[in-house]
Structure 1
Amino acid sequence: MSTQTPSQITESVIQAGVRKSSFDTLTLLILGFMAGAFIAMGFLLDIRVTAQLPHEWAGFGNFLGAAVFPVGLILTVLAGGELLTGNMMYMATALFSRKIGVAALVRNWIIVTIANFIGAVFIAYFFGHYLGLAEGAFLAKSVAVAKAKVNADFMHAFVSGIGCNWLVCLGIWLGLSSKEVVGKILGMWFPVMAFVAMGFQHVVANMFIVPLGIFVGEVTWAQYFGNAIPVFLGNVVGGAVFVGIPYTLALLRKQDSSAATQESASVAPSKAA
């Protein structure tokens, strides 16, 4: 069978959260660096594809950029990576299911955040800035996007973060529904394309685009951290509260109840005997 049911996907997410909690620090740092770099590459590709399109193609350009951005998540999932936004769903769902403790969740999120940041900034500096792939004719687009991110107030950034990771984690969820590579790619592509086209804020993607603006002197680190906090919190809500936990409540609670009923029924006759 090449597909998984929603209940099976929920079980897979919980098991993945438990497995991720057992990774040592070096593993999380290496895979976190890779994921941060992959997401940054997807964003850099978005800029390279769209920055020089004619103004009258703005709508199509927005879609075109959104269409290529998902390469970052596809690389992360298929090649291997530890992505903070995905782990917000995985770890929170495992915690909610009482399979891991709070300390395991916090440890994972802290290490992966640091590693994602290093990977994303590496691409921003060496590819975007040093090689100039996001500067020159592409600089205006890079700076405009970076400024748009940091100029959002706290609540707008927070709500935008919810919308982003709701869709990103649904992309991961749909990817888990298939056991075939093509199915996984298609499952991930549509939701991620949608979040980019709608302009939602992704904390790891912002680790690339905002430092890029900093390297050319158009944005400050204070602005970056002022944006990162609400987007981080919104991404947590989007991944945990709007994806992982609701499906666990809706699907596994029913299974647990049915299992308990069957166990009670099997015990009852023996008591009567």
Structure 2
Amino acid sequence: MSQGLFTNPFGIPPPSDDSYASLSRFIAEFSQAIPGDQFASFANQLSSLSEALISKFRGGTRPLDNMSEIRGMFQALDEKFKNLEDGQNSLKEDMIRGQNSLKEEMIRGQNSLREGQIRLEGKLESLNSIFLANKGDVYLQCREIDSKVNKTRSSAQRSENIINRFVAKDTKPIPFVNGQEPPTELPGLKTISDVDNLNPQQLKTYTEGYGFKYDENEPQKSLKRKIADSAGFVTHQDVLYELSDSNESLRDVGNQNSAPNQRSGTRRLRHH
């Protein structure tokens, strides 16, 4: 019997001869090596072959071509293993292709993210440049808005003061052009006589606070009239009130300290 017929992938030694013992030993070991759940039909063939061998060596009459049976057995087994091996190779190739595809997708995603980050950084730099370039304009616009708001507040308070003057009520302080109220150390301007009693230093503070453009040589009487007008003293009596003048100019104010309000002479037509 050809030994090549018994070559198998399980490493089971072929029968040493055609004896019943050798063939039975090979069939028994081969049967145990085959996964029964995968090769059930092949196991049935081995069972039939085993029964035939028993029948033959015990004098039975069951016909059996040993060579054809064993050859078919190994051909079927080889085909099963080839199919399994081909399936494993195909699965391995699919896994490799999947890994390569995933790697390529990750690389493309990283590149796209990096490009997006670069574009975003460029836009941020551009916005920052635009902001820095327009920062001065924005600051000026904010100052203009603040100035308009302050002027609106001053105008509203002046209008209220004018009404109060006509009904013989005291007026309220007019905010300076910077939006702040006049300092507390300044005398309040409740009547036009309060304006007339301002000393040079106080007159200078009110003049600058209300944002007048003036010449230091401008007569104080003229400055007093401007302050009176800004405070809302525009009634007929206010207009007729003759403001006093002084030989002092605002040029000399810098050399003087704030002092209590003192004026000589008689005030005419003081209105309270």
Greater relative contact order: 1 or 2 (C-alpha under 8 angstroms, separation 6 or more)?
1
- Tell me the TM-score normalized by structure 2: 0.24
- Tell me the TM-score normalized by structure 1: 0.24
**Structure having the larger proportion of residues in helix:** 1
